[in-house]
Structure 1
Amino acid sequence: MPGRRSSPPHWGHHLRRFPSAPACRLWGPQSYEAWEPPRPLPLLCRDMALQNALYTGDLARLRELFPPGSTADLLLECQAAEPRWTSHQRGLWSLTYEEELTTPLHVAASRGHTDVLQLLLRRRARPDSAPGGRTALHEACAVGHAACAHALLVAGADPNIPDQDGKRPLHLCRGAGTLECVELLLRFGAKVDGRSEEEEETPLHVAARLGQVELADLLLKWGACPNARDVEGRTPLLAACDARCTSPADAEATTTCCLQLCHLLLSAGADADAADQDKQRPLHLACRRGHAAVVELLLSCGVSANAMDYGGHTALHCALQGPPAALAQSPEHAVRALLNHGAVRVWPGALPKVLERWYMSPRTIEVLMNTYSVMQLPEEAMALVPPETLQKHHRFYSSLFALVRQPRSLQHLTRCALRTHLAACLPQALPRLPLPPRLIRYLQLDFEDVLY
């Protein structure tokens, strides 16, 4: 038909115009200057041969389907990753996989088919097209395909454009090519402190929250702000300290990663005592997650052990209310560090609750009890500990319940008196006392696995 643009071969009736493309684009600072004629609307393609070639990266077949002069400015329909509740009639809902729109460029970028992606760009595929809410650059960065990201950036892809969730490509970088993708984005003008639209997170927040130490280091070298705050007032340091262990098996790795991030952020000038909107500080979160080494690091920076959040909780409360997974991270070390830095002791009436929660960690019970001159437990407290635990830790629990309402040893009473006298300067004064190292450790509540 005269004047009608021909379609690439083999597509026929599988193509139709997509109605939402922009009508025109103006160029130059004023509207009367040169402007580009309306670009043809993108075609919706349902040709399975084309889609199969795209998903498998069949470059030879795609060269046939996209000969010189053809366009790759197409739309494809794909199934959503998760089923959604939809209603086609009033009151009738069904759980179905909705069809979503994507482009050949998105498919190539998400699968790392760099040669295919370059062919599509030569055939006039638009690098910033986002029919489903994400651009192809988002897709490439989300799976760490650095070569695809580079090709898109060279073709003019915007490194700062947000997706449907308000996240920029820098927020999404994952996978083996994460660092390379991030460096490419920054070299091509991505804002190192660009915010996500809803959470107002910077890329450094995301790196800290996900435990990506090398990525955080790279972002800081490019000038990322270590004290940026998200919509809840959280800094990257707070995000790092809130790292959770999914299981006891990964507890050590999570704590190590968290410690490395905290060292990195603090050396870059992060505020060790910055509070969020709920007045939670890094120390609160590190205690709640059981990161004992991070607790000791933060205390060494001079943060207060007795600062309260809006709920009236101190760091010691947070440590003793931690999840069961914290058992694998030796909570007794965090509790001891807090007590040696002047943390206010637990109210004696709450000790039975602590025993009931932490009976599987005798050293946590030991370090708490060694801050009192009298064992303030009711006689029926033995019933709070299961028989198998009493048997497993027989020596400790025998000594504990033998001392209920009984006087402690003179040596222990002397320790309590000295610690009380030095309360205001306990962490600084104890190491300086002219005493043998073993006695210093005793004053610092060293573990003995028995109570006297």
Structure 2
Amino acid sequence: MPGRRGSPSYLGHHLGCFPSAPACRVWDPQSCPDWEPPRPSPLLCRDMTLQNALYTGDLARLLELFPPHSTADLLLESRAAEPRWSSHQRGLWSLTYEEELTTPLHVAASRGHTDVVQLLLRRRAKPDSAPGGRTALHEACATGHTACVHALLVAGADPNIPDQDGKRPLHLCRGAGTLECAELLLRFGAKVDGRSEENEETPLHVAARLGHVELADLLLRRGAYPDARDAEGWTPLLAACDTRCTPPTTLEATAARCLQLCRLLLSAGADPDAADQDRRRPLHLACLHGYAAIVELLLSCGVSVNAMDYGGHTALHCALQGPPLALAQSPEHAVRALFNHGAVRIWPGALPKVLERWCTSPRTIEVLMNTYSVIKLPEEAVGLVPPEILQRHHRFYSSLFALVRQPRSLQHLSRCVLRAHLEACLPHALACLPLPPRLLRFLQLDFEDVLY
């Protein structure tokens, strides 16, 4: 429901706190359509005929209710969508619907009734009225009604006014008309880097966080600063790497849009290694969510592969601590990319814990084990893998547990020595070695699904 809870001064003035107040203090379109109050504050309307016409967009009925010279500068009462617990006396709580205030213009704009919006504006509805904290322009942008946005802007609505949460209309553009609404706002003077009052987010932060590639592209073309920081030190690139899958979007689609956003921001000059207040970098977040393609993109930009956040976690730690959903993103590719760019190996004592957590991803375990010259697992580690996983990946786990505390193949030992020798320049040196492709892939820890 558009609008938020009204202020006590509005409620007290218009709901009959003064017993001697005349009846027309509450507006009645049938009895006094042309009457205008001598005070600047809007009238409170309880007429259900008017409200029904507004919600359904009944223009013919509204033309009757708002004849020429009448005013549409009104307040409407509505109830919150969900009941809330409230206490009017000490110790006495009740579940009630809180009353909220809105205006006819808010209702029409939020529902895309453009003809009604234009009628109300002609009847002197104030485009920047915000009894509940949002203007009608906020409502139109949040629902993606482009024609309503245009009508309000033409009527003088402020494209930079913050709502009750400190967000400007450009922060709220949603729905099918997102791009068109944003273009209109920018054309009418919206600040492309206007910040929200509390979080200090720019519209580019919001577009990146929501995975909206087209909107981010529009904002960057209009001059948005790619390295703007919010109150927590987050840049749009950090926000893009932290974008999460929300139904009905699939994990694959989310990862693809995140990759597009990162490429777009990096091409616009975004710092690939910018850290937030907790020293988390884009690489940390991409690893945490298992976005292997973004990990490889960031590594190709020369980011610090072993940089730690305030908790002492490197990107490799994040890759191995990701949620179960990260399995769908093939975490072994992110882990291999990190090792091929010089990531420091994890402490061998932590390997049993990693085995237990990632046993359903044997290729992740394979990459980890291939960075050591000896498989450093206790003999009882076989009990960490459930029997059904052992059976499903029998060939790999048989080779793993057969090599516990046993010497590895000479070929693998040679690989370990060469990688250790090239450690300082590993990502560049491996690509430059004049070796057959198969041997080069072996040096780059390519997957074989078995350990030798």
> Per the shorter chain, which TM-score range?
over 0.9
Q: Does 1:65 align with 2:36?
A: no
Deviations 1:37-88 (A, max 9, x none): x753211001001100000000000000000011001100111133322111
Structure 1 range deviating more: 77-86 or 227-236: 77-86
Q: CA deviation at 1:247?
A: 7.4
1:308 corresponds to 2:308:
yes
Aligned to 1:354: 354
Aligned counterpart, 2:396 = 396
SS of equivalent residue, structure 1 residue 336: helix
- Number of the residue aligned with 1:414: 414
Residue in structure 1 matched with residue 143 of structure 2 by the alignment: 143
Shift of 1:234: 0.4
Deviation (angstroms), 1:91? 1.8
1:177 is aligned to: 177
Q: TM-score, normalised by structure 2?
A: 0.92
Q: How does 1:26-37 map to 2 (within 5 A)?
A: none
- The alignment partner of 2:181 has SS state of helix
Q: Provide structure 1 residue ranges, at least 5 long, that are not aligned to the other structure.
A: 18-37
Partner of 1:121 in structure 2?
121
Residue equivalent to 2:338: 338
Is the partner of 2:115 in helix, strand or coil? helix
Distance between the aligned counterparts of 1:365 and 1:246, measured in 2?
29
Name the counterpart of 2:91: 91
Worse-matched range after superposition: 89-98 or 301-310: 89-98
In structure 2, do the counterparts of structure 1 residues 7 and 292 end up closer, same or farther at CA, with 3 Å as the change threshold?
closer
Alignment deviations for residues 359-400 of structure 1 (CA, whole Å, 9 cap, x no partner): 000000000000110010000000000000000000000000
Superposed CA offset, 1:173-204 (max 9, x none): 00000000000000000000000011000000
C-alpha contact 2:27 2:44 (8 A) present in aligned 1: no
From the superposition, tell whether residues 282 and 7 of structure 1 become closer, same or farther in structure 2 (CA, over 3 Å). Answer: closer
Rounded to whole Å, the distance in 2 between the matches of 1:175 and 1:376 is: 53
Find runs of 4+ consecutive structure 1 residues off by over 4 angstroms: 4-8, 246-249
Aligned counterpart, 1:435: 435
Answer whether contact 1:283 1:315 (CA < 8 A) is retained: yes
Task: Give distance in 1, aligned partners of 2:397 and 2:328.
Answer: 20
Distance 2:138 2:221 in 1: 23
CA contact (8 A) 1:241 1:285 kept: yes
The aligned counterpart of 2:283 is 283
Paired residues of 2:79 and 2:100 also in contact (CA < 8 A): yes
Q: Is the contact between residue 245 and residue 325 of structure 1 (CA under 8 Å) also seen in structure 2?
A: no
* 3-state DSSP of counterpart to 2:100: strand
CA RMSD of aligned residues (A): 1.9
Secondary structure of the 2:415 match is helix
Q: Structure 1 CA distance, aligned partners of 2:109 and 2:229?
A: 32
Task: Write out per-residue CA displacement over residues 222-278 of structure 1, whole angstroms, 9 at most, x where no aligned residue.
Answer: 100000000000000000001123579821111111100000000000000000000
Which amino acid counterpart does residue 349 of structure 1 have in structure 2? G
Question: 2:46 corresponds to which letter in structure 1?
Answer: R
Matched, 1:130 2:130: yes
Match of 1:24 in 2: none
Is the alpha carbon distance of 1:333 and 1:6 closer, same or farther for their aligned partners in structure 2, counting shifts above 3 Å? Answer: closer
1:242 partnered with 2:236? no
Matched residues in 1 for 2:179 and 2:31: separation? 40
Q: Give per-residue Cα distances to partners, 1:410-433, cap 9 Å, x unaligned.
A: 000000000000000000000111
Distance 1:7 1:68, change over 3 A: farther
Correspondence for 2:298: 298
User: 2:206 matched to which residue of 1?
Assistant: 206
Q: Which amino acid in the other structure matches residue 91 of structure 1?
A: G
1:196 aligned onto 2:196: yes
Identity rate, percent:
84
Q: For this pair of structures, how many residues does the alignment match?
A: 428
CA contact 2:108–2:114 (8 Å) conserved in 1: yes
Write the letter of the residue equivalent to 1:196: S
| Residue-by-residue CA offset, 1:285-344 (whole Å, 9 max, x unaligned) | 100111110000000000011000011100000000000000000000000000000000
Task: Tell me if structure 1 keeps the 8 A contact 2:140–2:146.
Answer: yes
Q: Equivalent residue for 2:111?
A: 111
The range that moved more, 87-96 or 209-218, is 87-96
Check conservation: 1:140, 1:146, Cα contact below 8 A.
yes
2: CA distance, partners of 1:401 / 1:338? 25
C-alpha spacing 1:283/1:248, structure 2 compared with 1 (3 Å): farther
What is aligned with 2:30? 10
Q: Which amino acid aligns with 2:398?
A: S
CA pair 440-11 structure 1, distance change in 2 beyond 3 A? farther
CA distance in 2, matches of 1:353, 1:75: 61
The 8 Å contact of residues 16 and 43 in structure 1, kept in 2 or not, is answered as no
- Tell me the amino acid that sits aligned with residue 68 of structure 1: P
For 1:85-107, what per-residue CA distance to the aligned partner results, in whole angstroms no more than 9, with x for missing partners? 21111221223220100000000
Unaligned runs of 5+ in 2: 1-23
Q: Is the 8 A contact 2:26 2:44 kept in 1?
A: no
Letter in 2 for 1:399: S
SS of the aligned residue for 1:245 comes to: coil
1: CA distance between counterparts of 2:118 and 2:188? 18
SS of residue paired to 2:250: helix
2:30 aligned partner, one-letter code: H
Counterparts in 2 of 1:83 and 1:434: CA distance versus 1, 3 Å? same
